[in-house]
Amino acid sequence: MRFSTFAASVHGRKYRERGLPCQDSSDILEFDNVQAIAVADGHGGKDYFRSDIGSRLAVQVAFEQVKKFCNDISEGETFSENSIRNFEFELWEAWQRAVKDDWKRNLNYVEEERWQGVSDKYKARYTSAEERYIPVAYGTTLLLAVSIGWQVLIVQIGDGSCVVLQRDGEFKLPVPPDGESFGYVTTSLCDVDGYKKFRHAVLDCSEDSPLAPVAVFLSTDGLDDCYPIGDNQKYLYKLYADTVIDSMISNGYRVTCDSLREELLPYMTEHGSNDDISLAYLVTKDLNLLKRTIEQPPPTVEEQSLPTVEEMQVTVAEQAAQLRERLLPLWWEERRKHHDKQS
């Protein structure tokens, strides 16, 4: 399967107003039969004073490793658990090496504006002779999706979300949850045992599989945090179905890309999380398949609970609906039908 690709990062107000660079990075890689997308979120805290560089290097290194990894895959060969684990270790190791090399090339850290905010504890560590502390300055998360045509590999370390729309019309979170990420705490590429903290999933793209991915969305937590904690999953599903995919079907891929980059994502960070936001996706180029998938009722539709009006009033999704007049039309239609049945 071939996908339409997109990746964008927008600068959040909480960093912009402090004169700090965007901590997020995102990009697209395409060669031969391979299509890859990645988003990374630098931690941004005072001790992570080069995390904007760390996130950029994470995406760069990830794509370098994808090129090596996929060159060894033959036509029709599937991802093995062992090869994925090796890939994750080599990615983590390459990132650790890249940030240490950057440190050696830029030893004027005491002259950097953000250095003044680093805690005394980490100033002592960074100025010591021990290299093991250096990656902390560059700390970042990473989400990566790699399509080789017949399979999609998703790799994640840290927070953020991967949402997949399957052929059967269901949205799923395929990557296992991270038991170590909660609140403001997250696993990271800067962890000394970070290679052990990757989670991954492999998606089968067989045309006869109802679970085959029609769309894969990756987002950093700046997008997730625009929605109520604990409920952001269902709002992301609505965002992708009723705004992004609906726009693709109605307006085409290019218009949708431009609208996301120039309008919706900046609006969401400004009126939602105030954080940097990154979004990347792989969406089938077959518009007929996309339309059939999104219009069919998912198998578990009766089990899905609809958000209340009160919940909707406090979400960015509803604000964006007012702005663009079409964010959640299906939701309102479902509410009307439900009300009619109750009457």
Confidence (pLDDT) at 230: 75
Among 36-50, 98-112, 170-184, the minimum mean pLDDT is found in 170-184
Number of domains in the chain: 1
Report yes or no on 176 lying in a domain. yes
Question: Do the strands 34-41 and 151-157 form a parallel or antiparallel pair, or are they unpaired?
Answer: unpaired
Report yes or no on 245 lying in a domain. yes
Confidence (pLDDT) at 164: 98
Confidence (pLDDT) at 318: 47
* Residue 89: both structure tokens together: 């270790």
Residue 40 has pLDDT above 90, yes or no: yes
100 or 326, greater pLDDT: 100
Confidence (pLDDT) at 299: 59
Residue written as token pair 């995406």: 59
Confidence (pLDDT) at 232: 80
Report yes or no on 333 lying in a domain. no
Report yes or no on 326 lying in a domain. no
Report yes or no on 328 lying in a domain. no
Report yes or no on 141 lying in a domain. yes
Average pLDDT (141-168) is: 97
Tens digit of each residue's pLDDT (9 = 90 or more) over 5-22: 999 999 999 999 999 999
Helix (H) or strand (E) holding 282: strand 277-284
The band of 341, judged by pLDDT with boundaries at 50, 70 and 90, is low
Confidence (pLDDT) at 74: 85
CATH number at residue 30: 3.60.40.10
Report yes or no on 36 lying in a domain. yes
The band of 207, judged by pLDDT with boundaries at 50, 70 and 90, is very high
Q: Identify which of 313, 321, 311 has the alpha carbon closest to the alpha carbon of residue 264.
A: 321
Report yes or no on 308 lying in a domain. no
CA distances from 24 to 55, 139, 155, 220 (A): 6, 11, 17, 8
> What is the Cα–Cα distance from 228 to 298, expressed in whole angstroms?
24
Give the end-to-end CA distance of the chain in Å, rounded to a whole number: 46
- The answer to whether residues 42 and 51 touch, using CB atoms and an 8 Å cutoff, is yes
* Structural domain boundaries enclosing 74: 3-298
Among 127-136, 249-258, 291-300, the minimum mean pLDDT is found in 291-300
Strand partners, 30: 35
Among 84-98, 122-136, 155-169, 309-323, the minimum mean pLDDT is found in 309-323
Helix (H) or strand (E) holding 94: helix 81-105
Tens digit of each residue's pLDDT (9 = 90 or more) over 289-330: 999 999 987 655 444 444 443 443 344 444 444 444 433 344
